[in-house]
Amino acid sequence: MEHPPYLAAQELELLLGDPEDPGTAFSRARCLELDEGEEFPADLCRVLERWGLQEYYVPVEHGGRLTDYETIMQVMRVVARRDLTVAVGHGKTYLGGVCVWIAGTPEQARGLADDIRAGLPVSLALTERAHGSDLLAGEVSGEPDGSGGWRITGEKWLINNATRGSLLSVLARTGEDGGPRGFTVLLVDKRRLAAGDHYRHLDKIRTHGIRGADISGIAFDGAPVPADAAVGGEGGGVETVLKALQLTRTMCASLSLGAADHALSLALDFAERRELFGRHLVDLPQARHTLACAAADVLAGEALATVAARSVHTVTEELSIAAAVTKYLVPTGTETVIAELTRLLGARAFLKDVHARGMFQKVDRDHRIVGLFDGNTLVNLNSLVNQFRSLARGWQRGTGDTDGATRAFDLAAPLPPLDPARLSLVARRGSGIMATLPASVAALRAEATRRPELKSALGPAERLLAVTGRVHEAMDAYRTVVSDVPPAAFDVARRYSLCLAGAACLGLWAHNQRAAGEGRTGALWREGVWLWPVLDRLLVRLGEPAAGDPDAYPALLERLRAARETGELFSLLPLRLGGATPEGTSC
């Protein structure tokens, strides 16, 4: 089954060529060289810009190539699989512009689109040294200048591309008392300001991972900003940012997916070559199980992220749920994958010049930052806790946009354009994705009566449905929680996230298993080869007793090895890798 978003990603993948060939512009060797020197990957960004990656940051209605969020997620996954530093450094421009796409005027959108398409970096300036994720505590102020504009004063810190960016979307306090209506997003164009007088750049912060990225800051000193710089109107900044974060949190999954792809391929190559006790590591039972569990976790993240990216268009009013779950679960799932594979590689996971030039330790370092972008784990879980009332009520009543969820599941269904006006801070009728779970289990049950080979996947699906009911019951104790969230509520939100991921996986399989079973990845779909271990892994992470069925994993491991052997990405849908030579040097 060839799927258009993967075909777009395939185009970029093949253009970039074999990453193991040091003669290619975007080679592993070059990425490691830049990382070692903590140098911004400007030359690699230019390679992407010649292809037109920046066009994908601009919605098609403003002259760009961003037609749907599933496509940009897969395209950015290609970049992240090559080098997270490049993906973070270049992709930040989308984050910088998203507030304008959501709430800007046609004139703002047109001007910003022209700048982005010309290759100008854009940044999103939210956080401050003293306040972190607490946006309502922000002190950067926009004082009225008497002619409808503002003068910005204060410091934004830990800002990606603060120094390189020509334009910044700055969240500034424009109401003296602050509060939800006391902040405004101001689109600041540094080209119109006097460096040294109106602003100064803060020093680059040295980071453990993504060493070459421009993680710095900017300090304003009465910087003049005209009236037409306000995005979404004066006082609408917090609402605009929170809606924008629903999109950016969903898209952060591409960074984690790319890192997981890379880490898994490095570990598999090592296991295929490393000899212990007279056998290859990949032939030892514990190593086989570790690889298969990692493979299942990677596919679980891919399935959830795919449904979430499509739900941007089809279940827009409920994106606050899908985005929070995706931003929490995909990065933490990838962290788990990397941690498990680290134990498989042993010392070679940390060494620079042994296996694959030491690329594994770079992937590990680089990915640790992803869980902190656009709201960390606790921020995203807290946003779910705040919606427990509507989520529990929706589950009991079977409400939520189930039609929109079904369109998100069905990869053959065309995606409508995103209507930003449909974004909501609260999913008032619950989650349509979650509400489809009983029907998806029933569909699998009916299919298993005709195809006995699916009965193995049916067992964990039935158990997941039962767990999901208990999780929603547990929400009742926290329906009125607003602040001072107890630790137990966060654990309920964590369990809810895993259940929603299961609903996404079941929905995706049920609506595509026939068509997908005919393609190059068809062996994954037939007989529930990916579905069974993915559901089993979700039950393990839910702490369910007797989860971790060893019989669920051998077939998946063989598909992982076959994909690597044939030069295909190990994924739910086909994508041929640029350069079929397995990575690694000596073991």
| Token output for 373 | 């972008």
Say how far apart CA 174 and CA 236 lie, in whole Å. Answer: 10
The Cα–Cα gap between 44 and 566 comes to 27
What gap in Å lies between CA 183 and CA 155, rounded to an integer? 15
Burial 20-46 (b: 16+ CB within 10 A, else e): beeebebbbebbbebbeeeebbeebbe
Report pLDDT for 322: 98
- Please report the pLDDT score of residue 197 as a whole number: 97
| CA pseudo-torsion sign 495, 497, 503, 506 | negative
Give the other-Cβ count within 10 Å of 562's Cβ. Answer: 13
Q: Which of 186, 226, 245 is nearest to 423 (CA)?
A: 245
Q: What is the pLDDT of residue 583?
A: 47
Structure confidence at residue 582 (pLDDT): 47
Provide CB contacts within 8 A for 451, sequence distance 6+: 527
What's the pLDDT at 580?
Answer: 54
Mark 389-413 as b/e (b = at least 16 C-beta within 10 Å).
bbbbbbbeeebbbbebbbbbbbbee
The pLDDT, as a whole number, for residue 520 is 95
Looking at residue 233, the DSSP 8-state letter turns out to be S
Amino acid at 76: M
Q: pLDDT truncated to tens, each residue of the chain (587 aa)?
A: 899 999 999 999 999 999 999 999 999 999 999 999 999 999 999 999 999 999 999 999 999 999 999 999 999 999 999 999 999 999 999 999 999 999 999 999 999 999 999 999 999 999 999 998 899 999 999 999 999 999 999 999 999 999 999 999 999 999 999 999 999 999 999 999 999 999 999 999 999 999 999 999 999 999 999 999 999 999 999 999 999 999 999 999 999 999 999 999 999 999 999 987 788 999 999 999 999 999 999 999 999 999 999 999 999 999 999 999 999 999 999 999 999 999 999 988 888 877 878 899 999 999 999 988 877 889 999 999 999 999 999 999 999 999 999 999 999 999 999 999 999 999 999 999 999 999 999 999 999 999 999 999 999 999 999 999 999 999 999 988 877 899 999 999 999 999 999 999 999 999 999 999 998 999 999 999 999 999 999 999 999 998 999 999 999 999 999 999 999 999 999 999 997 544 444 34
pTM here? 0.96
